[in-house]
């Protein structure tokens, strides 16, 4: 009985793993099919001859190269901004004592409870009133700081003994020197994980870019992808090629930095 | 002003503490605000201010953003009477109360099996985590293709078992079910990873002792694993519930930028988006946002309370 149970539950996990992977595999396969193959009834699993030109065609039909450049630029700059603001604020929250610190921490924790979707629309208005629609500034500015990552980093920094800070102070080290010469080198792993996670969420961001951009040249990958999907109609093979293009970079990042990413999500998940 | 009172505090405290060198004064430093400033400006402008503004605007009426004026609770009255809003809330709640428990149970089954019975844990962990990182939009487009009524793979697969064809995308009665399937699929990743890390943290000696006393695996699961995992399950169900209430991108990509056929899959956020970005009824949109926010808060508190009760 126990052995039977074992077999059944293993089979279940294997089937679920297949279900999890299947959309990705099928996306890849269909991206290499001809239009006839992709829409044949019954559906085909494998293309007879891989059509690599689908990718070239998809890239031609919509400015995906521009989307890529935009996405990478926006994600990198917001990640960098988040890193800087989070390091500074996490340092202040962990190593310094000041009046109102507890109130501030409480307020920030309360803000974490506010769903992004509740504030995103009024943020759009702020941006619209500043006349920043269709600019990189609009895409980047709200994600230049993050309470979430500040708390994530704070958790990590609190494991660095306060005596390091005191010793540095005694040796006449300024706060900024302490941050750049001691704090950052010591918290490299956390900063690294943070950057990957922040980059990925920038890469996948959707609601904000769709609100603040309406010119095709300013789109990011995900909203470029949805507009391509509606415009290209039934050209599913091209849609699959475009989806593959936007998913594969993240998959490669994941396969290289699997450990750091999973550890980072678990850490921030459980404590956040 | 603040600095003054701060100095007073310091002078008051210092004589009472015998070891002055331990209270190194650079530590009690208001310059902390300087380091916090960049983050606080951004958070203030893009987190605090919009939250307040959402509440203010929910009470305002007006055709353009610059001519808004106070309108009392009129927006709320309109919204609460709007049948579309009822559908949106009904859909959102249905989605949440199906996706969260079903997703959690499936994740729990997968996580415990991986942890107890499978050798290549990393391989499976790696596979199951993929959907968490990949764009919901891209995968939604893939699912749209898989769900297609004519050439979709899912109907083809179901036909092997004599089921279907099911009109996943173009039948108003199916939209929410389709959305739920996609929602469960995309939610498993996070749950499994967190559950696995929780399982790893359970002290193995508990199981050794249980084995010595001849407890069956089932008993061990009920008496050891489950109670130990309650905090993590509580956390996950809360995160899942909040995310389910905010479901939006899934709908957008699955139904090609619309809320399903005949708006049958409108969710709360989708409703807000349409009011705001399509109909330009800013006040009404924000009133809906306030209601959604309060609903999320209430659900979170109720759930927290109930789960705490259960775990006792």
pLDDT digits (tens, 9 = 90+) for B294-308: 988 888 888 778 777
CA distances from B229 to B263, B271, B311 (A): 39, 36, 10
Choose, out of B13, B27, B30, B39, the residue to mutate when testing the contact with A (most A CBs < 10 Å).
Answer: B39
Q: B141 and A108: CB-CB below 8 Å?
A: no
Whether A12 maps to a domain, the answer reads no
β partners of residue B70: B60
* Residue A36, Cβ density class (10 Å: 0-12 exposed, 13-18 middle, ≥19 buried): exposed
Report the distance separating Cα A124 and Cα A132, nearest Å.
Answer: 10
Whether A198 maps to a domain, the answer reads yes
pLDDT in tens, A229-238: 888 777 888 9
**Is the model's pLDDT at A60 over the cut of 80?**
yes
Can you give the pLDDT at residue B14? 43
Q: A12 and B113: CB-CB below 8 Å?
A: yes
Can you give the pLDDT at residue B21? 46
Cβ-Cβ contacts under 8 Å, A116 against chain B:
246
Choose, out of A86, A95, A122, A234, the residue to mutate when testing the contact with B (most B CBs < 10 Å).
Answer: A122
Whether A21 maps to a domain, the answer reads no
* pLDDT band, very low/low/confident/very high, at B96 (cuts 50, 70, 90): very high
**Is the model's pLDDT at A251 over the cut of 80?**
yes
Can you give the pLDDT at residue B9? 43
Cβ-Cβ contacts under 8 Å, A129 against chain B:
65
Can you give the pLDDT at residue A269? 66
CA distances from A21 to A148, B110, B194, B240 (A): 30, 15, 19, 22
Average of pLDDT values for A184-202?
A: 90
* pLDDT band, very low/low/confident/very high, at B312 (cuts 50, 70, 90): low
Q: A118 and B245: CB-CB below 8 Å?
A: no
Can you give the pLDDT at residue B11? 40
Can you give the pLDDT at residue A67? 92
* pLDDT band, very low/low/confident/very high, at B10 (cuts 50, 70, 90): very low
Whether A226 maps to a domain, the answer reads yes
Whether A97 maps to a domain, the answer reads yes
How many CB atoms are located within 10 Å of the residue A49 CB?
A: 9
Range of the domain at A160: 62-268
Evaluate the omega torsion of the peptide bond into residue B165 and state whether it is cis, within 30 degrees of 0: yes
Cβ-Cβ contacts under 8 Å, B102 against chain A:
none
Report the distance separating Cα A117 and Cα A133, nearest Å.
Answer: 19
Q: A91 and B35: CB-CB below 8 Å?
A: yes
SS3 A121: helix
Choose, out of A105, A112, A125, the residue to mutate when testing the contact with B (most B CBs < 10 Å).
Answer: A125
Q: How far is B173 from chain A (nearest CA, A)?
A: 23
pLDDT in tens, B231-282: 888 888 888 988 899 899 899 989 888 888 878 889 999 999 988 888 888 8
pLDDT in tens, B181-232: 999 999 999 999 999 998 988 888 888 888 888 888 888 888 888 888 888 8
**Is the model's pLDDT at A169 over the cut of 90?**
no
For the entire predicted model, the pTM comes to 0.87
Whether A56 maps to a domain, the answer reads no
Rounded (10°) CA dihedral B255, B258, B261, B265: 80
- DSSP structure string for A91-107: HHHHH-B-TTHHHHHHH
Can you give the pLDDT at residue B22? 46
Can you give the pLDDT at residue B7? 39
pLDDT in tens, B203-214: 888 888 888 888
Range 110-149 of B in CB contact (< 8 A) with A:
110, 113-114, 117-118, 124-139, 141-146, 148
Can you give the pLDDT at residue A270? 55
Average of pLDDT values for A105-114?
A: 88
Can you give the pLDDT at residue A175? 87
Whether A46 maps to a domain, the answer reads no
* pLDDT band, very low/low/confident/very high, at A160 (cuts 50, 70, 90): confident
Cβ-Cβ contacts under 8 Å, A64 against chain B:
none
CATH number of the domain that A79 lies in? 1.10.3720.10
Whether A157 maps to a domain, the answer reads yes
ipTM above 0.95, yes or no: no
Q: Measured between CB atoms, does B245 come within 8 Å of chain A? A: yes
pLDDT in tens, A91-103: 999 888 888 888 9
Can you give the pLDDT at residue A61? 86
Can you give the pLDDT at residue B102? 96
CA distances from A126 to A120, A121, B59, B258 (A): 10, 9, 18, 26
Centroid of chain to Cα B166: 29
**How many domains does the structure of chain A reveal?**
1
């Amino acid at each position: 009985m126990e052995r039977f149970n074992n077999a059944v539950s293993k089979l279940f996990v294997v089937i679920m793993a297949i279900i999890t992977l299947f959309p990705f595999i099928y996306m890849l396969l269909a991206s290499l099919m001809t239009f006839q193959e992709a829409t044949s009834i019954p559906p085909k699993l494998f293309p007879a001859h891989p059509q690599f030109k689908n990718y070239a065609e998809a890239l031609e039909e919509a400015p995906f190269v521009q989307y890529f450049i935009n996405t990478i630029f926006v994600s990198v700059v917001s990640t960098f901004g988040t890193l800087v603001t989070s390091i500074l604020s996490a340092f202040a929250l962990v190593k310094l004592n000041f009046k109102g610190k507890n109130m501030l921490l409480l307020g920030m924790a309360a803000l974490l409870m506010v769903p992004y979707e509740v504030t995103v629309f009024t943020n759009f208005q702020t941006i619209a009133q500043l006349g920043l629609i269709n600019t990189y500034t609009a895409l980047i500015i709200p994600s230049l700081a993050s309470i979430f990552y500040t708390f994530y980093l704070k958790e990590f920094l609190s494991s660095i003994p306060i005596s390091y800070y005191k010793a540095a102070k005694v040796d006449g080290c300024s706060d900024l020197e302490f941050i750049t010469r001691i704090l950052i080198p010591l918290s490299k792993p956390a900063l690294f994980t943070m950057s990957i996670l922040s980059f990925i969420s920038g890469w996948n961001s959707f609601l904000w870019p769709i609100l603040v951009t309406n010119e095709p040249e300013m789109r990011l990958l995900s909203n470029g992808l949805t507009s391509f999907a509606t415009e290209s109609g039934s050209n599913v093979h091209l849609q699959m090629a475009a989806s593959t293009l936007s998913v594969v970079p993240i998959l490669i990042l994941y396969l290289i930095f699997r450990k750091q990413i999973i550890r980072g999500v678990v850490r921030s998940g459980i404590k956040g | 002003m603040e600095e003054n009172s701060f100095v007073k505090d310091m002078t008051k405290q210092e004589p009472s503490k015998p070891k002055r060198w331990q209270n190194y004064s650079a530590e009690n430093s208001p310059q902390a605000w300087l380091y916090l400033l960049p983050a606080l400006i951004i958070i203030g402008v893009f987190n605090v201010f919009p939250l307040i503004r959402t509440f203010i605007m929910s009470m305002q009426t007006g055709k353009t953003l610059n001519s808004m004026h106070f309108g009392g609770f009129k927006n709320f009255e309109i919204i609460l009477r709007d049948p579309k809003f009822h559908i949106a809330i009904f859909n959102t709640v249905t989605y949440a109360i199906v996706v969260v428990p079903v997703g959690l149970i499936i994740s729990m089954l997968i996580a415990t099996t991986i942890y107890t019975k499978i050798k290549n844990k990393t391989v499976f962990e790696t596979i199951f985590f993929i959907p968490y990182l990949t764009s919901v939009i891209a995968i939604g487009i893939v699912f749209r293709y898989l769900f297609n009524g004519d050439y979709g793979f899912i109907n083809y697969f179901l036909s092997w078992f004599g089921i279907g064809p099911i009109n996943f995308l173009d039948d108003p009665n199916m939209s929410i079910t389709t959305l739920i399937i996609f929602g469960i699929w995309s939610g498993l990743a996070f749950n499994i990873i967190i559950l696995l890390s929780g399982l790893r943290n359970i002290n193995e000696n508990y199981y050794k002792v249980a084995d010595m006393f001849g407890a069956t695996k089932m008993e061990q699961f009920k008496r050891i694993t489950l109670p130990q995992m309650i905090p993590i399950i509580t956390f996950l169900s809360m995160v899942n519930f909040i995310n389910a209430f905010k479901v939006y991108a899934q709908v957008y990509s699955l139904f090609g930028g619309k809320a399903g056929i005949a708006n049958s899959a409108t969710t709360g956020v989708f409703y807000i988006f349409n009011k705001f970005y399509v109909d330009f009824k800013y006040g009404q949109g924000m009133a809906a946002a306030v209601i959604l926010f309060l609903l999320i808060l209430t659900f979170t508190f109720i759930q927290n309370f109930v789960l705490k009760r259960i775990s006792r």
